[in-house]
């Protein structure tokens, strides 16, 4: 259990999603009172089912893009914004909604933070770096992003959200903390969301061919959910890192998509084969974080190897039916 979280009343937007639900569980188990809001577009009540009877947890179906009376959300002493679809499959389907969640939704939460005079932790993403020209990505790198391609609704939306955070910090003094999260995986991911690890595991469990777009030489630095959550908690507890972004990722586990597929096949002893298809537009060729700042300022280091994390994730998928985005039943 993570202890000594200094905030007691926390609003988590997007708290029924993959990372958000895992974060809610840690916060509640650490003694925090958590109000979770989510529009359930890709989040799932199943993800927070174990919290529904906990007196320290409250769920409200709520879209941060919309105007709401927020009086029922207080008391709050910290806002965490995890809201926004993160799967290409989802944001290709709803690009405008994705962009507006990052822009209008983030502004609404920043206004609430300003009104209540509380800090806000913004979950950003490694996607703000686009298809980078650098092998290792420090926070100072401004990225190489297409503003008109099919991924732009997510990439540029998250960049705009960071811009809003910094403007509210400079103009109004809102204490914003920005975390750039790299490719995270683990329990509570939905098989059907199209991202590499759940998609590959799901197909390998079914004995279906694993489809790779392009040559499979593109790399990602995969990080297990427990390490991501520890990084987020370290960030929200820090008084030093305000008004600047921090990378949270695992540079030790950079892996090509082709090697990832083969590793999952081997771990499952699956009969699946690798099948190649046309490359996706604007698909980044590499993605590896520089985490020097997180190590120095947060004393945070990822600890889970890719193999160990995949074994845990495979076990989760074996024991859970995750074939769709939303299981809205909480019975």
Beta carbons within 8 Å of 187's beta carbon, 6+ residues apart: 22, 225, 312, 313, 316, 320
* 154 catalytically annotated: yes
The answer for residues whose C-beta is within 8 angstroms of residue 105's C-beta and 6 or more apart is: 13, 63, 64, 65, 81, 83, 84
Contact 198, 234 (CB under 8 A): no
Element (H, E) at 87: none
Per-residue exposure over 172-209, b if at least 16 CB sit within 10 Å of its own CB, e if not: eebbbbbbbbbbbbbbbbbbbbebbbbbbbbbbbeeee
Catalytic residue among 91, 129, 154, 224: 154
286, 221 contact by CB (below 8 A)? no
Catalytic residues: 154
């Amino acid at each position: 259990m993570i202890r000594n979280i200094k905030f007691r009343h926390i609003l988590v937007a997007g708290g029924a999603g993959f990372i958000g639900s895992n974060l809610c569980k840690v916060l509640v188990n650490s003694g925090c009172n958590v109000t979770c809001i989510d529009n359930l577009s890709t989040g799932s009540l199943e993800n927070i089912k174990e919290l529904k009877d906990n007196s320290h947890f409250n769920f409200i179906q709520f879209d941060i893009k919309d105007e709401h009376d927020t009086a029922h959300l207080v008391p709050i002493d910290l806002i965490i914004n995890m809201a926004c679809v993160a799967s290409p499959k989802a944001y290709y389907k709803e690009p405008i909604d994705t962009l507006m969640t990052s822009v209008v939704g983030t502004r609404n939460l920043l206004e609430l933070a300003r009104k209540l005079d509380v800090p806000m932790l913004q979950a950003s993403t490694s996607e703000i770096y686009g298809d980078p020209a650098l092998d290792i990505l420090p926070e100072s790198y401004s990225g190489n992003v297409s503003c008109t391609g099919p991924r732009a609704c997510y990439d540029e939306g998250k960049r705009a959200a960071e811009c809003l955070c910094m403007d509210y910090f400079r103009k109004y003094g809102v204490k914003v903390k920005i975390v750039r999260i790299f490719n995270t995986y683990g329990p509570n991911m939905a098989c059907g969301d199209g991202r590499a690890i759940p998609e590959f595991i799901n197909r390998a469990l079914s004995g279906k061919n694993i489809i790779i777009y392009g040559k499979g030489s593109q790399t990602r630095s995969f990080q297990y959910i427990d390490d991501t959550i520890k990084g987020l908690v370290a960030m929200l507890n820090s008084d030093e890192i305000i008004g600047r972004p921090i990378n949270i990722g695992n540079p030790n586990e950079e892996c090509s998509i082709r090697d990832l597929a083969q590793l999952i096949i081997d771990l499952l002893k699956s009969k699946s084969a690798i099948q190649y298809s046309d490359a996706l537009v604007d698909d980044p060729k590499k993605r590896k974080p520089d985490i020097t700042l997180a190590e120095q300022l947060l004393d945070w280091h990822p600890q889970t190897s890719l193999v160990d994390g995949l074994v845990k994730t495979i076990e989760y998928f074996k024991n859970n039916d995750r074939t769709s985005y939303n299981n809205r039943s909480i019975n």
